[in-house]
Structure 1
Amino acid sequence: MGDDLDNEWWLTEKEQTEKYADKEQEYDVSNSKGKVKGAGNKKRSYDAVAVVEETSGQVKKKKKPKKKKTEEEEVKESAGQWSDVVASLRDNFKGKIPVIEFEDLILSEENFLPHNEYLNDLSTYLTCTIRKWKKLSASDELKTKSPIVLVITSAAKRAVDLNRQANNFKGKCTSAKLFAKHMKVSEQSKFLSKNKVHFAVGTPNRVSSLIDQDALDITAVKYVILDWNFRDLKKRRMVDIPEIKKDLLNFLKDNVLPTILNGSRLKIGIY
């Protein structure tokens, strides 16, 4: 009688049944792995996927959602500071002027008013930063040709808007509009020479022209406020428009900085 090689005669019938079941389960798992890895297999069992993930040792990391900035943080980031003005001056004139003049372009935080951190309207900003306005505007020492506050902005329309915005701050005082649209230099010169102006707003080009013609005396001006943060319809600030930037930085270099270096207490505001 021939031997039955496949028959494990030393095992009981129950043990043979259990061993056969274990081998069948191992075969099913191995076969499932092959199906998961194959490109053409569309059906994948949940158990097979679990086995592959466990044996591969790869752990999928969930991306952390980016923390959204608060409105207050966004406003603070967009508000210009004194260091931005100094950086613009030095970047613009580096290599274009003598080294001695370039060294004079260094200003410190002491030369500036607090910047408009929360982008308040002009009246609110000026009220918070110029605390002695009533005393200054009522002083008998006020001279012609020299406003107490001189606001520099990019265009005539913006100058008109700012002059209106400052009404709550100004109160009843004399104002001057110093820009080119519909206004001649001679007319503005005549007005400045005959009136004690408290508050003036204008463009850098026209203001510089008036200073050059001795119609405006900046040495007695207490505050120069730069409309730094305002953006036009194209989202451009003064320093983003080449022709305005040139006039602005030349005005600061040729008029404001020498005044400060000569001992004036003039302060620059970043609005």
Structure 2
Amino acid sequence: QPAECFLTRPEEKEESTAKVKRRRKKKISDILAKSSPKPGVPEDLQKLLNQHFGSKRSVIELEELKLPDSCFLPANDLTHSFSSYLKEICPKWAKLRKNHKEKKSVLMLIVCSSALRCLELIKSMTAFKGDCKVMKLFAKHIKIKEQMHMLENGVIHLGVGTPGRIKALVEQDGLSLNSLKYLILDWNWRDQKLRRMIDIPEIRKETIDLLEMGIIKLCREDSVKLGLF
């Protein structure tokens, strides 16, 4: 009897380890780890919009969501640091920020997938931003009323945040898009699970909603440029 008991144990272990191995193969991170990173290009964003709205919109409505290549800034070829990328796409930043006087609005919006990533990017843009005022536009530990108060009472040059909070600020008239010149999507960065911001369903939807709230229209009018970092 004890011998029988001893024989069944290793079999159970083998079964459970086999199950774990099978599950791991299905993870997105395992597939992504094998593929080499590719920089985001305008077609990627257009494809994303078409996939999202394709079945919900008419042909005429879809035409209005088309972004010509002239709307886009040069793509990040994955060799740039964040500061060097911003310097390349916006060489006249010093002059722009000097002339910016409008409250409740920013010159540049940088959209990321999480609060932690926002903080990382704020630290890494020191060489670019100079003495301009940067504001954190995410929900973690910061109430929306505080952000609205800061935007209303001071001149902010640069906003770094998550699409959900930026969208909420625009909806509640806390953030105006009047002065906006550049919108940068943190497109190529991957989190611990190797997901980009557009691989996370909630972030993807909020990003598309934000673009549709007036950004696409401004891009088509040539007053805002889109960048994929």
Normalising by the smaller structure, the TM-score range is 0.7 to 0.9
Mapped to 1, the partners of 2:125 and 2:143 lie a distance apart of: 24
Question: In structure 2, do the counterparts of structure 1 residues 255 and 230 end up closer, same or farther at CA, with 3 Å as the change threshold?
Answer: same
Q: Which amino acid aligns with 2:186?
A: D
CA deviations on 1:40-98 (whole Å, 9 max, x unpaired) are xxxxxxxxxxxxxxxxxxxxxxxxxxxxxxxxxx97x6111111111111111101134
Identical amino acids, percent of aligned pairs: 38
Matched ranges for 1:64-103 at <5 A: 78-103=38-63
Q: Which stretches in structure 2 are left out of the alignment for 5+ residues?
A: 1-34
1:110 equivalent to 2:57? Answer no
- Asked if residue 145 in structure 1 is aligned to residue 104 in structure 2, the reply is yes
TM-score by length of 1: 0.69
Q: Does 2:77 correspond to 1:136? A: no
CA offset at residue 218 of structure 1? 1.3
Contact 2:106 / 2:159 at 8 angstroms: preserved in 1? yes
| Aligned residue number for residue 200 of structure 1 | 159
- Aligned equivalents of 1:122 and 1:145: distance in 2? 25
Query: Is contact 1:79–1:119 with CA below 8 Å preserved after alignment?
Result: no
Distance in 2 separating the partners of 1:253 and 1:152: 14
Which of 152, 171, 174 is matched with 1:215 structurally?
A: 174
Query: What is the Cα-based RMSD across aligned positions, in Å?
Result: 1.5
| Separation (CA, whole Å) in 1 of partners of 2:59 and 2:164 | 25
Superposed counterparts of 1:167-246, under 5 Å: 167-246=126-205
Displacement of 1:109 in angstroms is 1.0
CA distance in 2, matches of 1:228, 1:176: 20
Unaligned runs of 5+ in 1: 1-73
TM score, norm. by length of structure 2: 0.81
Q: Within 1, Cα distance between the matches of 2:55 and 2:136?
A: 35
Question: 1:22-61 maps to which residues of 2 (within 5 A)?
Answer: none
Alpha-carbon offset, residue 264 of structure 1: 4.6
Higher RCO (CA-CA < 8 Å; seq separation 6+) = 2
Match of 1:157 among 88, 92, 116: 116
Q: Quote the Cα distance in structure 2 between the aligned partners of 1:101 and 1:167.
A: 41
* Structure 1 position 216, deviation (Å): 0.6
The structure whose Rg is larger is 1
Does the 8 Å contact 2:71/2:222 carry over to 1? no
Aligned 8 A contact 1:178 1:207 in 2: yes
Cα distance in structure 1, aligned partners of 2:126 and 2:69 = 28
